[in-house]
Structures are given as C-alpha cells and as structure tokens.
C-alpha cells in the first residue's frame, strides 16, 4: 500500500508527479489541473478542499526540481 501523503508532502508529491507525468513541464500546469493530479495520486489522503495556493506552488516547485533533474 502506498504511503499516505497530504498537501504538505511537497517532495514526495513532486517525485510521484514526475514519475506519472514525465513529459509535462510542471511550470505549464495550471493550479486547477495540478490540484486534480495531486488528489488522484495513490496514497493521497489530504482533504481536497483544504489546499492553498502556497501549497500548490510548493508542490509545483518540487515537481519542477524533479523534472529538471530528469532532463
């Protein structure tokens, strides 16, 4: 079973998003789409209504770091 993750697990979410969507440049993803991607991850247990813009930005930056490392 996947480890439980919430909105504040930026690094883990970034890793999972990079594995799931390696062809997507994270900086091109709208926050509404990013929200959908995160809530669909295996092990995500955060409340979908409790995300903040700051958290989504942190997730996007963590994902971007993984994206850059994978180039």
Closest by CA to 11, choosing from 71, 69, 59, 70, is: 59
Tens digits of per-residue pLDDT, 17-30?
999 999 999 999 99
**pLDDT score, position 3:** 87
Task: Kindly give the parts of the chain with pLDDT less than 70.
Answer: 1
**pLDDT score, position 1:** 66
Closest by CA to 57, choosing from 12, 10, 20, is: 10
Which CATH code, of 1.25.40.20, 3.30.300.20, 1.10.150.120, 1.10.10.600, is assigned to 10-70? 1.10.10.600
The domain spans of the chain are 10-70
Rounded Cα gap, residues 29 and 59, in angstroms: 11
């Amino acid at each position: 079973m996947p480890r439980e993750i919430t909105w504040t697990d930026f690094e883990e979410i970034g890793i999972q998003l990079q594995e799931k969507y390696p062809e997507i440049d994270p900086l091109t993803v709208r926050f509404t789409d990013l929200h959908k991607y995160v809530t669909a991850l295996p092990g995500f247990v955060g409340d979908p209504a409790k995300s903040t813009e700051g958290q989504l930005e942190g997730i996007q930056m963590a994902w971007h770091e993984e994206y850059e490392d994978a180039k």
